[in-house]
A and B are shown apart, each in its own frame.
Chain A
Amino acid sequence: MIDVIKGAMLLTGSSFMLLAAVGLLRLPDLLTRMHATTKAAALGVILIMLASAMHFAEVGVVARSFAIIVFILITAPIAAHVIGRAGYFVGSRLWSGTVKDELRPNYDPLTHELKSGMETQENAKRHPRNTDPD
């Protein structure tokens, strides 16, 4: 029974990693590629590590596989975020099928200022003070 579970986890894990590779080739632009590679690959590694921990069932191996899982969970989203952000601001083109972009109008490429679009509401609520310039 436990052999079947281990085998199933290994197979699903490696097929998720294969999917990540296929996605990297097939998807049209940088940001969608980041989606495929980081998350599917992370899930694949997690499943494989769980399977190996179950197979060996020794304290050393189990501790190491959990450490690997924790480090993957900490580093993968940060890497994806940093690469995606850098790519976006450097100006990599979004896919033609992109339906909306709420970031572009709020970003000033000269000053690198990124507004939230909520400043006007804040200003409307704010009461004028004596120290305000006219």
Chain B
Amino acid sequence: MTGAIWNLLLGLAWVLLSGDFSGLNLLVGMIFGYIALLLIEPQVDGLKGYPARVPRFIGFLGFFIKELVQANLRVAFDILTPPWHMQPGVIALPLSARTEMEITLVANLISLTPGTLSLDVSDDRKVLYIHAMFLDDEEELRRNLKEMEHRALELFR
């Protein structure tokens, strides 16, 4: 978190010093700020792990957008063609997220991808109940959800 704030401050300093107030220039400043943070990371304890987290975050964004578009097209296809190909059902997904914050994040990400909707979490916080639209390949679905959870948790650990 401190790393992100420093990166933003360095970007703003770049914008002020170069005198070009545009979004693109802020992005350039953030990139230079990131490089500077990358270079001083070994000497500053507060920045530990921040430079490694940024590429992971970008990779996660790409992965998530891919999933989002793919699943949306699948749901769209099923809505537009007359016979129902879907096999909806409620499955229990064991969670590796432990704190409330992590569970909220994972449940929201699952709700956000089409075809899966998180319904409830069990009282002991071990299992997330998910309503899924396409259960024809349950193993594949579980593997995808687990991969998404794993990638999301990596961002914060």
Contact = CB atoms under 8 A, between A and B. Distances in A.
Interface of A: 16, 19, 22-23, 26-29, 31-32, 34-36, 38-40, 42-43, 59, 62, 73-74, 76-78, 80-81, 84-85, 88-89, 94-95, 97-104, 106, 113-119
A78 B76 CA distance: 22
A88 B130 CA distance: 12
10 contacts: A28-B84, A39-B68, A76-B111, A78-B111, A81-B117, A84-B131, A98-B87, A104-B90, A114-B122, A116-B92
B120 to A, nearest CB: 5
Interface class of chain A by DSSP: helix
Contacts of B123: 113-116
Given A76-B111, A116-B123, 19 more contacts: A19-B80, A22-B79, A27-B79, A32-B133, A34-B117, A35-B117, A39-B71, A39-B75, A73-B112, A74-B108, A77-B109, A78-B108, A81-B119, A97-B88, A99-B87, A103-B120, A114-B121, A117-B92, A117-B127
Contacts of A19: 76, 79-80
Contact of A102 (B109, B113, B121, B129): B129
B111 A100 contact: no
B87 A97 contact: yes
A62 B23 contact: yes
Nearest to B127: A116
A26 B84 CA distance: 10
Interface residues of B, number: 42
Contacts of A59: 21-23
